[in-house]
Amino acid sequence: MPAQVSSNLFEGTLSLERELGESADMFVEYVGDYPQHQIASQVLNFGGAWRLTRLQQIDFHAGFGFTRAAPSAYFGVGYSFHLNGLF
């Protein structure tokens, strides 16, 4: 049986969000992961969402890291829909 590794992790975040009218919003956030006995990962993440209808939205986010343990840069785009009342 493999040995189990126990790791304590503290994650601090600071988020700011702003509504842009009735159908859009944007955000910026700092995320710091501080594992015990390992290098911290710190990133700045930002993005937004645009609600096409009450049940659909398009969103994006991007960011970059400040430390070696964090990704240097990333970008994502998504589409979400709500199956309201389907089940």
Cβ atoms within 10 Å, residue 4: 5
| Structure tokens that stand for 82 in this block | 């709500």
The pTM score is 0.75
State residue 6's pLDDT score.
53
* 73 found inside a domain: yes
Q: What confidence score (pLDDT) does residue 26 get?
A: 97
Residue 4 lies in a domain: no
Number of domains the chain contains: 1
pLDDT along the chain (87 residues), means of 10: 63 94 96 88 95 94 93 95 79
> Quick check: is 56 in a domain?
yes
Strand partners, 24: 50
Residue 54, domain extent: 9-81
Strands 56-65 and 41-53: antiparallel
Torsion of CA 30, 35, 40, 42, to 10 degrees: -20
Tokens of 30: 């700092």
87 is a domain residue: no
